[in-house]
Structure 1
Amino acid sequence: MTFRFPRRPAVALGAAAAAVLMAASACSTGEGDLANEEPTADAAELSITPEDGGSEIRPDSPIVVSASNGKITDVQVEQQLPEGETDKSMTGGYNDDKTEWVSDWTLHPGSDVTVTAAAENSEGKTSEAISEFSTVPPVEGQRLEIKSISVEPDSTVGVGMPIIVDFDMPVENKAQVEAAMEVTSEKPAKGAWNWFGDKQAVFRTEEYWEPYQKVDVNLNLAGVAASEGVWGIENRSFGFEVGRSQISTIDENKHHMTVERDGETLKEFDVSLGKASQRKYTTTSGTHLTMAFHTDYRMSNDTLGVSEDDPEYYEEFVDYAVRISHSGEFLHTADWNYQLGEANTSHGCINMSVSDSKWFYEESLRGDPVDITGTDRPLEVTNGWGYWQRSAEEWISQSATGEADDTSEPGTPGSPHHEQ
């Protein structure tokens, strides 16, 4: 017997299936499952100061990038300079949680600046922001420039070598200018800038440089306000090597000179110092530095105002001469002096034999210390490179920032930026 089941109406079958599907939907994909999902994190938001579209912005205004709902991951600063060059060297620092970035240095005057920043929220989604603005151009006659620097790039110098920067215009805002001049060394040291007048800044460490190391100098002066309306217009960077430690000591009473290199006695000489019949013929006591080197050099006391008809007048051409002050003191050849090691008969210089002066000339570097003792005329701090006449404490306290700079770390005390 064959059984046949009656076909159900199609509409009835569809209605039943729909009811089953609706029931399943309510259990598996309804509000109960959605409530367990993690909410989407808000996008990171960025703000940049100076704001987009700004013009005539002070170049010493800091660039500040801030982030909410996330952390800053990158900041790029591009400056289109008036000369057509592009500068992408600006650096900056983050706060601890990387929600703020502040530029380290000032901006070039008269430049078009583009700041591009990126940040990520907690889910790793990236946001970006751009600010484009321009800075105040420099005015002719109000542009601070560097006239000279005492250290030649890539040169090798002695352990006492100062970094001397001469400017072409007076500097009033000395603390900001100091903060823009960064000195870093391979070996730890602390130092500071001192000012001699309004146009010369000198960097010296508390103690002599440690020998055999590299020192880098970054003068980030473009955009620094030297005084009201006067902007620095250039950056300059260079490096130099500190060589061996060579320190000479000269005893006026014993007419004797000793040269030590890296702590060991290298050479000793008989010498003759100033006869001290007048103040100007008295050799100065204190820490001198070797400054310049000459051969076949004219020596005369006419530089001290002595006329040719004066019985004390002299003129000699010497084989070797090493300057150690601005007041005319040299270590030099004196083949006419037959009292080396016996008496002080010079007009203030350190007289040496031909062979000894030649050796000293050839073995010395600019910035080697020469310590002279025994006379009653102290070397002035402004006489040549007499900067080591100041104690370390006095040197630090007389800097405009009033703080020591740790040269083993990047950055400087203080800030080159305009106080907002």
Structure 2
Amino acid sequence: MGHAIRRSARGVGALALALLTVSCSGTTAVRGGDASQTPEPVAAAIRVAPLDRATGVPTDATVLVAAQGGTLQKVVVRAVKGARGSLPGILSADGTQWRSRGTAAPGATYEVSATAVNEAGAVTETTSTFSTVKSKGTFAIESLLPSEDLTGLTVGVGMPVMITFDREITDRVSVERNLLVSTSKPVLGAWHWFDSRTVHFRPKTFWPAHTKVRVEARLAGVHGGGGLYGAANRTLDFRVGRSQITRGSTLTHHLIVRRDGRVVRRIPMSAGKGGVWKYHTTSGVHLAMSREPVTIMVSPGIGPGSPGYYRMTVYNTVRISNSGEYVHSAPWSVGSQGAANVSHGCVNVSPANAKWFIDNTLIGDPIIITGTPRRLEPTNGWGHWQEDWKQWLKWSSLKHFTTEKA
């Protein structure tokens, strides 16, 4: 599609070298050639790994077929028991080696059929089989964001890719190796495990505006740990829209909205008033998480009749954290907006500005707040950008990330 986050290949080269030292596997037949030639042509030898009738083969093991004294004409690796379909593969430029791509199904038997020919035209054919390790169960993606329901698949420049699995993943390396992100513009990014079921992806810096992104979770047959294997593949395509970044200070009491670097709106605001209830707006890089025409807000941890209790209906809200922070319409505090902080922690703006903001915000747009004593936690909503790049990489299972054209 453009550029892809690539992972280092497994020991294919070493295995290919090993093929030259093992005996022919499977059943081999030689036919053709000209019997009048003296001496008779030496038939090409075909080597196959895994060896014939091998059992317990890992699903991500590379099938290698090599021809010695000739070139490969045809290689087919197809499931004959316990699964359907064939394994795709790629032939080397000189035609002497073929290697599979992707993963096999667990608990399945595969047949390898290969044909080679030498310079004199003698044809060698071989057939072998191998069986993969058995599965104790499967895992699948429970949720994948962004989604069409949430965003319409056009998102802001801060939007992460978020995957939640339905089972705990203990073989994170195998799973992460099969999560591919391709982009239409060069992007350096990495996956980050928040726990054994949750892995998210973000670039080192905000996405370039107007970037097309494809996420391929090639998980069918991939080991997730504990004998669990991926049940299916998933693909997600989305687009990053214009770059819109909003910055607000609780000291100057204004939001400044910049689109593609140009100021498009200055919005007077009122933030958390602090005080005994510690109604502080969090400082940090927030992301727009949802756009809600109507939201019912209730005081956290305070019941009816208690001091500080409130329950109110609020309009045109943009959620920026999981701890109940929004940018929203607050007609009751218009007199303080631009001058003082009087809210319970949300960012109050006028009804007209709230309508403009919700209409002009994409899910994933950065909203950066400064000036308060409370820092946004990285796990409070989508606080992914609260971790610097070094911290983000600390929770990745793969340490090398490069971008190149797909």
TM-score (norm: length of structure 1): 0.78
2:342 aligned with 1:345: yes
- Residue ranges of structure 1 left out of the alignment (5+ in a row): 1-36, 411-420
Paired position in structure 2 for 1:399: 396
Paired position in structure 2 for 1:157: 155
Kindly provide the amino acid, as one letter, of the partner of residue 245 in structure 2.
I
Paired position in structure 2 for 1:299: 297
Does structure 2 conserve the Cα–Cα contact (< 8 Å) formed by 1:222 and 1:232? yes
Paired position in structure 2 for 1:3: none
* Higher mean C-alpha displacement, 266-275 vs 107-116: 107-116
2:208 aligned with 1:213: no
Kindly provide the amino acid, as one letter, of the partner of residue 147 in structure 2.
E
Given the superposition, is the C-alpha separation of residues 403 and 273 from structure 1 closer, same or farther in structure 2, using an over 3 Å criterion?
Answer: same
Residue of 192, 203, 208 corresponding to 2:190: 192
Does structure 2 conserve the Cα–Cα contact (< 8 Å) formed by 1:396 and 1:403? no
Residue of 238, 248, 251 corresponding to 2:249: 251
Deviation at 1:403, TM superposition (A): 1.9
Given the superposition, is the C-alpha separation of residues 163 and 73 from structure 1 closer, same or farther in structure 2, using an over 3 Å criterion?
Answer: farther
* Higher mean C-alpha displacement, 148-157 vs 215-224: 148-157
Q: Secondary structure at the match of 2:332?
A: coil
Does structure 2 conserve the Cα–Cα contact (< 8 Å) formed by 1:286 and 1:373? yes
Question: What is the correspondence of 1:41-56 to structure 2 with a 5 Å cutoff?
Answer: 42-54=42-54
RMSD of aligned C-alpha atoms? 2.8
2:356 & 2:40 partners in 1: Cα distance?
Answer: 78
Given the superposition, is the C-alpha separation of residues 279 and 178 from structure 1 closer, same or farther in structure 2, using an over 3 Å criterion?
Answer: farther
Q: Secondary structure at the match of 1:267?
A: strand
Does structure 1 conserve the Cα–Cα contact (< 8 Å) formed by 2:41 and 2:122? no
Given the superposition, is the C-alpha separation of residues 81 and 179 from structure 1 closer, same or farther in structure 2, using an over 3 Å criterion?
Answer: farther
Paired position in structure 1 for 2:351: 354
Paired position in structure 2 for 1:327: 323
Does structure 2 conserve the Cα–Cα contact (< 8 Å) formed by 1:108 and 1:233? no
1:80 & 1:336 partners in 2: Cα distance?
Answer: 71
2:402 aligned with 1:388: no
- Render the CA deviation track for 1:268-321: whole Å, top value 9, x for unaligned: 1011111112575111111111111211111112xx211112221111111211
Deviation at 1:178, TM superposition (A): 0.7
- Render the CA deviation track for 1:103-139: whole Å, top value 9, x for unaligned: 3432222445444545554568765544444434533
Paired position in structure 1 for 2:8: none
Q: Percent identity of the aligned residues? A: 38
- Residue ranges of structure 2 left out of the alignment (5+ in a row): 1-36
Deviation at 1:179, TM superposition (A): 0.4
Q: Secondary structure at the match of 1:310?
A: coil
1:70 & 1:242 partners in 2: Cα distance?
Answer: 50
- Render the CA deviation track for 1:335-377: whole Å, top value 9, x for unaligned: 2213111111111111111121111111111111111111111
Deviation at 1:166, TM superposition (A): 0.4
Given the superposition, is the C-alpha separation of residues 163 and 74 from structure 1 closer, same or farther in structure 2, using an over 3 Å criterion?
Answer: farther
1:81 & 1:320 partners in 2: Cα distance?
Answer: 57
Q: Secondary structure at the match of 1:298?
A: strand
Kindly provide the amino acid, as one letter, of the partner of residue 387 in structure 1.
H
Kindly provide the amino acid, as one letter, of the partner of residue 68 in structure 1.
Q
Paired position in structure 2 for 1:17: none
Residue of 287, 290, 305 corresponding to 2:288: 290
Mark the structure with the bigger radius of gyration: 1
Question: What is the correspondence of 1:5-404 to structure 2 with a 5 Å cutoff?
Answer: 42-54=42-54, 57-72=57-72, 75-79=75-79, 86-88=84-86, 90-92=87-89, 99-117=96-114, 119=116, 121=118, 129-139=126-136, 142-152=137-147, 155-278=153-276, 280-301=278-299, 304-338=300-334, 339-404=336-401
Paired position in structure 2 for 1:23: none
Does structure 2 conserve the Cα–Cα contact (< 8 Å) formed by 1:329 and 1:348? yes
Structure 1 runs of 4+ with >6 Å offset? 37-41, 123-126
TM-score (norm: length of structure 2): 0.81
Does structure 1 conserve the Cα–Cα contact (< 8 Å) formed by 2:216 and 2:234? yes
1:164 & 1:318 partners in 2: Cα distance?
Answer: 29
Given the superposition, is the C-alpha separation of residues 318 and 137 from structure 1 closer, same or farther in structure 2, using an over 3 Å criterion?
Answer: same
Q: Secondary structure at the match of 1:281?
A: coil
Does structure 2 conserve the Cα–Cα contact (< 8 Å) formed by 1:396 and 1:404? no
Deviation at 1:396, TM superposition (A): 2.5
